[in-house]
Amino acid sequence: MKRKTTMKILAGVLSTAMMMTMLTGCGGQKKDAGEGEAKSEAGGSGDVITVDFWTAPEQYNLDFWSKYADKFNSSNAELDGKKIEVKVQMMPAQPSSEAGIQNAIATDTVPAISENINRSFANILAGSQAVYDMGQEDWFSEIVAERKIEETVKGWEIDGAQYVLPLYVNPITVCYNSKALKALGFNEVPQTMADLEKLLAAYKDKQEELKGEGISHFMCRAEFMNSADYWERWFDIEAPYNALAKGTPLVDGNKLTADKEALEKVFKMYANMGQSLLTGTIDALWQQETIPVVMGCGLPWDISANDAAGKVYGMDGDYVFGPALVENAGDTPYNYADAKGIVLYKNKAISDEEHNGAVEFLKYVFTGDGKDTVDVDWLNATAMLPVRGDLEENETLAAYFDEHPALKDVSANVAYSVPGMAHEKGAEIMTALGEKGVIPLMNEVAAVSGINENPDVSKYVDDALNAMKEAGGLE
């Protein structure tokens, strides 16, 4: 993805799926053999163990995984004298990929393995005992060590277990209009909230001059007015919150653990932009001939479109990424990890041989013959950062990053990326944050305020926290 395609999970979809006709074209034919027997080819000889793999519903994901499945299949890997054959296809995506997976679980058509799973959805699957805990497996530990993600996987734990092998991450930080920064006297990106306050004050002094140059607003984010697309709160609220809260999560387990003071700072940051914060739509914002804003959410999937539009990255170019803003210099710039990974499904339709065959495929890709090429191939196919703890030092990635400086800068933030909450009502919680906090803040404060008026935002934070607590049934 260059843009989130996740949709809100429909309530009760798993039970509803029980009554649905089995989806066609979704892989994993239902077996006639008893549990523990392998699906077979070669005229029913049982000489081939067929492992179904579902990719994210994007052509480039399908192309990537098909390439590695072909390589693996050509290696003639075996289990107990039987050849392992990996078959790849896209997961169903309507009404959402999550609903498609839940339907497949209910109808015993789920694959042995898939990608495209975030931590929140993994929590739902784990609660239904639909996925394996990989954390105690030697092969999982070997992949973690090879990819140097010992610290990273700690953020993926769910009740002390590891249900997801992290695959990619889009660190959500801040993006700036390089030309606007220079026009406002800034030769480097802001690092702290104080830096941002100085930038906003400079904009206030020069806003009429900048309008003449086509820079009409300090920030534009139409998504502030949309609570239905709950994931937008990951990018505009949770990302800056993580840095200001020093990694304290909004929700931990079934507890509302939000740092109220940090959330107030996020709300005040936007409120202080006042009417210079545009909540209307500017299509292709960062690809405009003149970028009409000073800053915005740092969304890595914009990079490809920016490149296609001829935009040059860097302080001497058109746009540049900066870290999540911290309170004090030296604080860790935690950000939101727009990240997904791979799971192994546990289902009566999946034999032990199929499961073990899926494990062999993962070992081939990440610690076997695929390990020296998989990350560069992934980057070339998706332009999304692979989850590695050594992105900046890894020699196999150096040439790619030299050719793609925007992603190189973004990669520096991977180490500080925090996955979203693991809660079955995560969608409802973030929807409540938007409905009861963000939208009223925009309508009642930002829309009627001047720049840097320091309005009291405590009411909106209280309302948001209370709504989140109620929506999630949180303690």
Domain ranges of the chain: 19-170+338-418, 171-336+424-472
Residue pair 399/375 in contact by the 8 Å Cβ criterion = no
Nearest CA to 157 out of 345, 341, 333, 357 is that of: 341
**463-469 mean pLDDT:** 98
What is the average per-residue pLDDT within 275-284?
96
Q: What's residue 95's pLDDT?
A: 86
Instruction: Give the DSSP letter of residue 131.
Output: B
CATH of 19-170+338-418, one of 3.40.190.10, 3.40.50.12280, 3.40.50.2300, 1.20.1050.90: 3.40.190.10
- More confident call, 31 vs 320: 320
Task: Provide the percentage of residues in the chain whose pLDDT is more than 90.
Answer: 87
Question: Residue 2 has what pLDDT?
Answer: 40
Mean pLDDT of the chain: 90
Report the alpha-carbon angle 390-394-397, nearest 5. Answer: 120
The tokens of 106 are what?
Answer: 């209910």
**For position 35, what pLDDT does the model report?**
37
Give the integer Cα–Cα distance in Å for 262 and 269.
11
pLDDT at 77 exceeding the cut of 80? yes
> What number is the average pLDDT over the span 403-413?
94
| For residue 286, pLDDT beyond 60 | yes
Work out the angle at residue 169's Cα, subtended by the Cα atoms of residues 167 and 171, and round it to the nearest 5 degrees: 170
Is residue 295 a contact partner of residue 303, using CB atoms and an 8 Å limit? no
Neighbours of 83 (CB within 10 A): 17
**Among 24-33, 176-185, 238-247, 405-414, whose mean pLDDT is lowest?**
24-33
Under CATH, domain 171-336+424-472 is a member of which superfamily? Answer: Periplasmic binding protein-like II (3.40.190.10)
CA atoms within 13 A on the CB side of 335: 29
Q: How far apart are CA 244 and CA 233, in angstroms?
A: 16
Between residues 253 and 13, the one the model is more confident about: 253
With a cut of 60, say whether residue 372 has pLDDT above it: yes
Count of alpha carbons within 13 angstroms of residue 263, beta-carbon side: 26
Instruction: Determine the average pLDDT of the residues in 446-451.
Output: 97
pLDDT for position 11? 35
Task: Report the chain's terminal Cα–Cα distance, integer Å.
Answer: 35
Res. 235: pLDDT tops 60: yes
Q: What is the mean pLDDT of residues 75-85?
A: 96
- Judge contact between 88 and 53, C-beta under 8 A: yes
Q: How far apart are CA 380 and CA 67, in angstroms?
A: 13
* pLDDT band at 46; cut points 50, 70, 90: low
Radius of gyration of the chain (CA): 23
> Under DSSP, is residue 368 helix (H, G, I), strand (E, B) or coil?
coil
Count of C-beta atoms within a 10 Å radius of residue 282: 17
Query: Same CATH topology for 19-170+338-418 and 171-336+424-472?
Result: yes
Reading the block at residue 420, the tokens are 């979203």
Report the SS3 class of residue 322: strand
The answer on pLDDT for 19 being more than 80 is no
Q: Are 420 and 336 a contacting pair, CB within 8 Å? A: yes
**24 — pLDDT class (breaks 50, 70, 90):** very low
